[in-house]
Chain A
Amino acid sequence: MELSAEGIGHSFGALEVLDGIDFRVAAGEILAVIGPSGCGKSTLLSILGGLLQPDKGRAALDGAPPADSLNPLTFVFQDFALLPWRTVRGNVELALEHHRLSGPERRERVEAALAAIGLAEFKDVYPKQLSGGMRQRVGIARALVVRPAILLMDEPLSALDAQTRELLMEDFLDLWLDAKVSAVYVTHNLTEALRLADRILVLSRRPGRIKEMVRVPIPQRERTSLAAQAELAALSDTLWQSIKREAQVADREMTDV
């Protein structure tokens, strides 16, 4: 299944946050969206996932989702959005409860999703007992359990510390490359984008417009090698130069307009 943005533009009242966004995410592709804070990245993701009605343009899908997909467009949230009164298992099950599944099938899906992300032994624990990284793993298990075609990830690692982030990035790669899901990965972190994405979409500051679309020429699995590191550092520098000025101006803008 392929997801396209067709001329998406949006305003909150008089505040224009997005303008003329056009792109297409191919099947199995990972697209990172980066840009300064307040440039409408999260708004764009909400529009793509049907949680927000855009003022202009539309999000569109091509092709059928996989037969076993219960929720083709699935979010992973920055703040995890776990229900604190449900255990890990209960949070993952929540995504299935309104679908017609037999008891054993549901259990089997939940077990598989928990095992895939290393949560099997934390099934009966409440979110407050878990570290941030483990909480986001629950968020990911909940996303996987519905067998998504496209993951919409809203800064999924930005609430976590640097070491946890490293660990989870590796998990993401394993999951994506195994399950062949595509993803739109919103972040303000260049390192994450360069490590995970096939292509990087750079947004300008508000109103967010497409500034650049960069392809990362090295396969994800090879990006940790020394040779690749040098090439990525150069790419990172180019990208940083491109967004630095925007970030500086955005930083000085009043957020509460």
Chain B
Amino acid sequence: MQAVKNAVIAAAGMGTRLGAGKPKSLIKINGKALLEYQLSLLANVENVFLVVGFMEEDVMTFASKIRRDIIFVRNANFQHTKTLGSFYLAARNINGSAIFMDGDMIIEPRTFAKFLETAARLDDNELLIAVSKRISDDPVYCAIEQRGDDLRIHGFSFEEKSAYEWANVVYMPAGLMINGSSHTFEHLQKFLPAAAKVIDRLEIDTPEDLRGAEKFFKTNDWFGIN
């Protein structure tokens, strides 16, 4: 068993739907920035790559105070790329596998820890795709087959409804990332079927999401802070 060594967080986007006038990763929820929640999940991962773009210096100044040894990857073309493009910029120099995660959500730590444990047990060339119980308004559904505790994902779809949706987190060999303009899940389609694991999460895309998250944390203590 080899512990997960590399993690990539895509935080280059403008977060326009949130309209906060600052990068989404710096938005505070219950007094803690979105990025702090994500970094706290990766305390035991040796190399953390944070892809920055929009207001990059603000993000770097803030993030380096939380974790000094972050490797910042610049996506100067952030206005014209999707998450996959940001992932690729970090992936191109990573040897071995990495966790790739979108920076626009809060993930529940216990389910994420299980995801890390499962990822560490995989063979070198295997993928582990995170799915979650449906939370999005416009979900990417996942066709899931369950065998005991093990889940396998067979496909992504906007139409074929399912209880699970794509969670924007994947553990995979960095060499399989490409520099594309498609959605990450469209690229992952090539590698299915693959192992899947459920994580709980909250997406922060809109002002409603933000209010919803603050309300959610009044009754759900994911981070032991209440």
A and B form one complex: no
Chain A residues in contact with chain B, CB under 8 A? none
Chain B residues in contact with chain A, CB under 8 A? none
